[in-house]
Structure 1
Amino acid sequence: INEDRGRIDKPIREFGSGRMGVDDKHGKRSITDFKVIKRFNELTLLDVSIITGRRHQIRVHLYSMGHPVVGDLRYGDLKIQNQFPRLMLHASRIEFQLLDKSNKVIESPLPKIITEFLDKLI
């Protein structure tokens, strides 16, 4: 990814196989914001926020830019993605509204398997 930050605004829809994909004509509007946290030789660590909430939105949007999520067996090249221990996608923060209209925020640090993977890239 060349930009340090950006917005992906591409419509997404489900295809008959259950796989999601970008479809300019029939897809639902889908917006994803991203910011580069750290660049490695061939990989980039991103902070990603979804503005809309489509299934597989982050994975589909990054794949559509030619940058699939590391370890993504559904939206990446299997020969490459199979060498990674897992999908390197993690929800570090989620926020939602409770019935009483208050907001609930839950934060979670990167799991050990991801931090160990990142340490090997340095």
Structure 2
Amino acid sequence: MESYTFVADEKARIDKWVSDRGEWSRSQVQEWIKTGALLVNGSAVKANYKLQVGDEVEVNVPEAVELEVLPEDIPLEIVFEDEDVIVVNKARGMVVHPAAGHTSGTLVNALLYHCDDLSGINGVKRPGIVHRIDKDTTGLLMVAKNDLAHESLASQLKDKTIKREYIALVHGELVHELGTIEAPIGRDTNDRQRMTVTDRNAKEAVTHFRLLERYKDFTLVECKLETGRTHQIRVHMRYIGHPLAGDPKYGPRRTIDLGGQALHAATLGFHHPRTKEWMEFEAPLPEDFNAELAKLDKIEKTR
């Protein structure tokens, strides 16, 4: 069990105030309040308790229950594999690794069935996982089969030498053909499940974009990641007024029905962990993405 002590610096509702001070959802905090794991001035309170300045808040975070991750016979599209690395083309709707609410059917479950020699650096729930893409984002993902590979790929991510290019369909007619979005991203204090551009507890985030095709009311763009923040492309494109089509979290209510955001990890390049050879892979747009593009009216051909 981990314990944290805070001193209230404002008058606020207890569950919201505490969730803003850690990587905890408001529902998690409310559950801890119910079970007595959260105390104010040594006493239990209700979730709607209004903090007073100077109140001492004690949070006793329960030990996480370790998930048992089991191999599952789930089809995978493997683009490349050797003794060190697997590159997969992830399907829409597949979560990368187990977490609360998604304990099976993940990419990790499928990988464990396919091979049992994944790196252990990220623990039992995320074996081999060096980076992630969202559940409803399709495309290329690299997985480490041993710790040597994991350390090398993670280092390349940190040094920003991995090539990651995405194709996205966004709302509106983008004016600029090229651009760079430099805007820090952090958790949205009003909704812990969302990220936003903010100066509060934020990290550097840089996205480069290039216009590919203009359509009536939409634009197809290529986005190149310089950093890899949670939901980065989705947040950045919304920030400049062009949210991703089909995005249920950051897009408008009236959008295309794609079962998720129109975002595809199309290109992935890195230096092989063992041979140091540059390797680059491409994955074509999935059929459902192409089908939506076919329904749109092109304005002009730019490339």
Structures share fold, TM-score greater than 0.5: yes
CA offset digits 1:43-66 (Å, max 9, x no partner)? 000011011111110000001111
Distance 1:97 1:55, change over 3 A: farther
| Aligned twin of 1:54 | 229
Secondary structure at the residue paired with 2:290? helix
| Aligned twin of 1:96 | 270
> Are positions 1:119 and 2:294 aligned together?
yes
Structure 2 residue runs of 5 or longer lacking an equivalent are: 1-173, 298-303
What is the distance in 1 between the residues matched to 2:254 and 2:270? 35
Amino acid at match of 1:51: E
Deviates more, 1:17-26 or 1:96-105: 96-105
Secondary structure at the residue paired with 1:93? strand
Deviates more, 1:66-75 or 1:100-109: 100-109
Deviates more, 1:111-120 or 1:101-110: 101-110
What is the distance in 2 between the residues matched to 1:98 and 1:20? 32
| Aligned twin of 1:33 | 208
What is the distance in 1 between the residues matched to 2:287 and 2:263? 13
| Aligned twin of 1:3 | 176
Q: Once the 2 structures are TM-superposed, how far is the Cα of residue 25 of structure 1 from its aligned partner?
A: 4.2
What is the distance in 1 between the residues matched to 2:230 and 2:222? 18
| Aligned twin of 1:73 | 248
What is the distance in 2 between the residues matched to 1:21 and 1:58? 11
Secondary structure at the residue paired with 1:20? strand
What is the distance in 1 between the residues matched to 2:200 and 2:267? 32
TM-score between the two structures when normalised by the length of structure 2: 0.38
Structure number, greater radius of gyration = 2
Deviates more, 1:26-35 or 1:97-106: 97-106
What is the distance in 2 between the residues matched to 1:12 and 1:104? 30
CA offset digits 1:47-106 (Å, max 9, x no partner)? 1101111111000000111111000001112x213x422321101111234322333322
Aligned Cα root-mean-square deviation (Å): 1.5
What is the distance in 2 between the residues matched to 1:5 and 1:74? 25
TM-score between the two structures when normalised by the length of structure 1: 0.89
Amino acid at match of 1:4: E
What is the distance in 2 between the residues matched to 1:114 and 1:107? 16
Amino acid at match of 1:88: A
Aligned residues: 120
